[in-house]
């Protein structure tokens, strides 16, 4: 219908603006909470890459597998949800990492992964399961959103939070907290 077409046009036009505004606002919150610039940059980067990976899986399954286009509201819904949840999990991990890394970043990374792993894994699995539950519906938008967001949550839980963020933090060490002075006392 014409209304759907108009709405799709507006949403497509606004997607980049909304995505940019979401990232800027979440980035500002992360900078203020962490009092750093570098860590928020890689935290946002991992969230965006996770979104694209989940959307790519959705395209593979629905467009190439089943021959159905991804419904136009799905990418924006997935983006907002995955950025919100990813930033939330990131904040939990990086805050704990900062506490655990006052003397040695590598030891801090290991302690952080051990101490937050079960909480993040449980939360991610529960949220992903509820999103995959949407796939039982008969509306394409629900099925696609459930699959893409569920996959994004699993990737976030098992790849981004468990491997990627800790690895980047271990590589960057004290530079993660720039512009603050180093907190490590080797």
pLDDT tier for residue 104 given thresholds of 50, 70 and 90: confident
Name the pTM for this structure. 0.86
Structure-block tokens of residue 159: 């790849």
Which of 141, 93, 95 is closest to 119 using CA atoms?
A: 93
Q: Is the dihedral of CA 159, 160, 166, 168 positive or negative?
A: positive
**CA dist., res. 46 & res. 155, Å (int):** 11
5, with CB counted inside 10 A (0-12, 13-18, 19+), is exposed
Mean pLDDT across the chain: 87
The SS3 of residue 19 is helix
Residue 181 pLDDT = 64
pLDDT digits 0-9 by tens, 163-173: 899 899 889 98
The SS3 of residue 58 is helix
């Amino acid at each position: 219908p014409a209304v759907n077409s108009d709405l799709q046009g507006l949403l497509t036009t606004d997607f980049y603006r909304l995505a940019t505004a979401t990232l800027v606002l979440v980035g500002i919150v992360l900078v203020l909470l962490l009092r750093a610039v570098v860590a928020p940059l890689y935290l946002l980067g991992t969230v965006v890459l996770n979104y694209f990976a989940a959307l790519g899986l959705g395209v593979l399954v629905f467009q190439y597998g089943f021959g159905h286009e991804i419904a136009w509201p799905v990418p924006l819904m997935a983006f907002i949800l995955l950025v919100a949840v990813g930033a939330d999990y990131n904040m939990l991990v990086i805050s704990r990492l900062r506490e655990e890394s006052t003397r040695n970043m590598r030891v801090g990374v290991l302690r952080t992964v051990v101490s937050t792993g079960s909480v993040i894994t449980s939360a991610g699995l529960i949220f992903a399961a509820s999103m995959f539950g949407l796939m039982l519906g008969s509306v394409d938008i629900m099925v696609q959103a459930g699959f893409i967001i569920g996959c994004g949550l699993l990737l976030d839980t098992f790849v981004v939070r468990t491997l990627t963020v800790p690895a980047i933090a271990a590589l960057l060490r004290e530079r993660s907290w720039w512009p603050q002075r180093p907190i490590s006392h080797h």
